[in-house]
Structure formats: C-alpha cells, structure tokens
C-alpha cells in the first residue's frame, strides 16, 4: 500500500496537551473528508491513547508523548502514539475492560476497549522500563482527496 502523507509530533506528557493531540490528528486527517462520526472516532481513540501515556506510562513523572500519523492509499489512516515510560508487563491483562493500574485516580479501565470500539484495528507493543506504542488504524469511507492524488 502506498504512503500518501505523513506527520510526526511530540509534546510534554501534560494533561493539557491531550486536547492538542486530538486537534492535531484531526487536522491531519480532515483532508480525507471524514464523516463527523469518523472524525469523532479518531479523536476519541487518540485521546484515550494519549491519556494512557500520560497517566499510566509516565505515572506523574515528566516525559514526552510521540505521535506519528500516516495516510495510505484507499484512505487508510494509521496513528501511532508512544511513550518511553514504564511499559506494560501484561498487555493482554491491560486490554481487559475495567482493568486499571490507577484505581486510586478513579480510572475506569476502559481506554483500550474504547480505542478498539472506535478503530478498525488496535495494536499494542510494550517493553517494561522502555515504554509502550499503540497503533490505531481506521479506514475513512470517503473516496475524495488523497486517495486520488488531489
């Protein structure tokens, strides 16, 4: 599949930057002419992934959140959100609905479930002590713009 466009950004792991990440990714995919629902799905999934980096990956410590976005032909959007935080020891357990590593912060443990419900595919890779990468994939239904080289 041919790569059509790509973007990268990084920012400090501050809660206030979650909205920035959501907006930046939205601006990146808006040229595909997504429906309101598709754009909302992407924004919600990105918001959950970034929040996971901030809350669980860095656990009240400063760090950097990295986002790489790619658009492929046929309107396939791939967004990779990663941190260099504590990592996840048991990815399968972490992806179970209602599991959280921060119950004292009233976390619902639904982040990965939300990502999965709004994306076509979610991949998680993690190494304890080195960080976590979440890759979100979604195909935008529109046939306009980038898939035809405009």
Catalytic residues: 48, 52, 107
Cβ atoms of residues 1 and 73 within 8 Å: yes
Q: Give how far Cα 70 sits from Cα of 3, 30, 32, 36, Å.
A: 7, 13, 12, 20
SS3 68: strand
CA distance 135 to 114: 14
Distance CA(141)–CA(65), nearest Å, equals: 29
């Amino acid at each position: 599949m041919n790569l059509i466009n790509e973007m990268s950004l990084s920012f400090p792991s501050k809660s206030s930057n979650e909205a920035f990440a959501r907006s930046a990714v939205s601006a990146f995919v808006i040229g595909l002419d997504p429906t309101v629902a598709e754009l909302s799905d992407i924004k919600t999934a990105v918001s959950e992934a970034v929040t996971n980096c901030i809350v669980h990956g860095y656990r009240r410590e400063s760090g950097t959140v990295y986002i790489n976005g790619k658009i492929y032909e046929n309107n396939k959007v791939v967004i990779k959100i990663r941190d260099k935080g504590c990592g996840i020891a048991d990815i399968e357990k972490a992806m179970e609905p209602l599991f959280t590593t921060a119950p004292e912060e009233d976390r619902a443990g639904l982040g990965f479930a939300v990502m999965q419900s709004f994306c076509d595919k979610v991949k998680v890779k993690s190494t304890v002590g080195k960080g976590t990468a979440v890759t979100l994939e979604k195909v935008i239904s529109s046939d306009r713009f980038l898939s035809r080289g405009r």
